[in-house]
Structure 1
């Protein structure tokens, strides 16, 4: 069954709604990554079957067909991501990218069908259990909040796995359950990793089930750290605005006299947001907590409101002073800045 996140991205492209396509791309990206992780363990099964059976064995043939289907699916995903990146820069139109996503759907369905055939035919092949451990590739947590992540251990082989130890390392967290007595062929179970994010760090979080692992790049970020991240995304907003100016022959910042006052308004909001964030970082680094009784968090929220106005203005300029693609990306990137600022309000200094 096709992941709903893939279908949502395709449908947004088909509708011509660039902003929705930008918003739904991350979900599409996560969905195809999840599929690729699951395929990785099944490839081990397929290769084990190929190594243990003659070419005329139905199991051998099913394994080869599965491996071929995986290669085609991988190519389809790469092409879809690449064409969407080009689309945002004025390349292929949205319908062409949607066609690429349809190819992802078709090749993923082919992989799932081939995987079913492989597992049906491989039942008589003497294979060890094949475990897959999957979870988030990255975890970004505000300092002072809770770490709460979910992982899945799945037996994709054809024989039962027993007496599996479950461990987690890299940060002071706990995993439940700490052991799995048995995992039947085709069976999956959920693992919960929990703890307190009381120290700002970057560390790999390694969850191990038996001999298989899943790695999550854990980042616990303090308030100033999120403000720094917001500035990084704001740089991308400013760079795209500058490219809009360059594409227009340098007239974008010229003010009301050249019909581009809307673009100038966007520049002004970015400049104001940047100055506010930089001042907040300086205040935090110097140990200050704000002047006139106004807290750092209130100042952050005020900047979030300013960027909300930026998004509304960019969307209003779509098809006029901005192309639909530029408007969608600017609004999406500004939304990312708001997300970073919102996380900053929840993080300890």
Structure 2
């Protein structure tokens, strides 16, 4: 079977700004319009059918594209939306006419600063960023120097005539954020396989999602020292992160010694500034999940009739048995911010999905 569809939804409820003299900042209005188009394939197959053996399979795969058609805004074709997992992050999604819902919006990660990016003044013990190096100091607020996370300088500000202004390659919220992720998968699907052989029966069900991104907010919070008493992820252990204290507990300020201490560092030092959403926290959310597997055995009626039972079957079932994914969090199939449909696929302190095992008996008298 093949199904092709196209539909649109109008009068979507969207938060929009209102004049400040009203005493409010925002108002919910029915002004949005989106469209969906796609195709779905369904295949049913009897692979083997014999007297005592039967093998069947059912598979479906679908491709969907959504698009924002209208926003009803005056003077703009987009607005920025915050997912709200932490108010300090600010807007981390962009909703734009002609684009899909679910575009993640932030800075582009560019490794971390090293000693070579700075000039050092031994008299003042201060590091000064060298010319031509992207300058994050305007957005990090604290802890700027060797070992700080670095983001790409994507564009310079412009004057009223549209001419670029040389701002010393400063990275800013206004000019250097861009689309860094897309919550929409390229395709999704599932497959169900059933096998019976004499009294035995077995079935498995798997589903997959391919090509979507997940916003792993846990990586931002738990690699930071912005809040007091925050636990850190294991990737921030002393073997991986940039350090400023040597094995003897002494703070290292000499550039050569600091460079030697961190020659094997693979990640920046924990941030002491505000939380910033950047592309490092966007991960591939593709997965293949073994959702269910069941095996059973039905006893021959010649046996069961002796004890006045028409049918007797025993079975064992497991749910959420395996998942194959590159996602570093507990589960890529997550969406913890549900206050607005504009910010899907945020993973923040999500509880792991349970794995269940069940055994049972079916009896017909």
With normalisation by structure 2, the TM-score equals 0.20
Structure number with higher strand proportion: 2
Which structure has the bigger radius of gyration?
A: 2
Structure number with higher helix proportion: 1
